[in-house]
Amino acid sequence: MDSRTVFVLLWMLLSSTSTGIKLDGNGYVDVVIAISSKVPQDIRLIDKIKEMVTEGSFYLYDALDEKVYFREATILVPPQIDNANPAYGVEPYTNQYGECGAEGEYIHFTPEYLLNDTLIELYGSRGRVFVHEWAHVRWGVYDECNGEKPFYHSNGHIEATR
């Protein structure tokens, strides 16, 4: 099997008009995480996703002065849309092409990223990485530094990424 087919897409389903993700009180609900049909079935993935979201929820709650957390997330098992992206390897990323502050479309994780604990040393704990990517997808926060996108559009102006 081509190793690329092993890429997973964990899909934060956001409808085009308004996000599918809602804030109910202080808890985010309707967060959808989907596993690509191209990913070999592996029960450990579900546990790792649960751990990641649970840890991320505590981290988010802490980071935002106890204002919000993840109340409810749905894990969809295949079939689902895949969007393998060899450019990123195992590194998680967020599709966010809009202006700074615009919502992104989804966060992408690979099965290897979720299953290989050695990668935690490289990227930090999965819950924290999830919240970091969440900031991109939900609030359109840009990376503090970005070699690939050193500039961004803001109110019709071009700004340096910072």
Ligand X SMILES: *[C@@H]1O[C@H](CO)[C@@H](O)[C@H](O)[C@H]1NC(C)=O
Give the nearer residue to ligand X in terms of CB position, either 119 or 137. 119
Does 146 engage in binding with ligand X (CB under 6 A)? Answer: no
* Ramachandran quadrant class, 95 (left: phi over 0; alpha: psi -120 to 50; beta: rest): beta
Q: Which stretch binds ligand X (CB under 6 A): 77-85, 98-106, 111-119, 127-135?
A: 111-119
Counting every residue, how long is the chain? 162
Q: What are phi and psi of 100, to 5 degrees?
A: -60, 130
CA 85, 86, 91, 97 dihedral sign is negative
Q: Which is nearer to ligand X, 17 or 118 (CB)?
A: 118
| DSSP bridge partners of 158 | 153
Task: Tell me how far, at minimum, the Cβ of 6 lies from ligand X, in Å.
Answer: 11
The active-site residue out of 51, 133, 144, 159 is 133
129 binds ligand X (CB under 6 A): no
Using rule CB under 6 A, residue 118 touches ligand X: yes
Closest approach of Cβ 116 to ligand X, in Å?
Answer: 4
- What whole-number distance in Å separates Cα of residue 104 and Cα of residue 141? 9
Contact 88, 108 (CB under 8 A): yes
Is 91 a residue of the active site? no
Residues in the site for ligand X, rule: CB under 6 A? 116, 118-119
Residues marked active site are found at 133
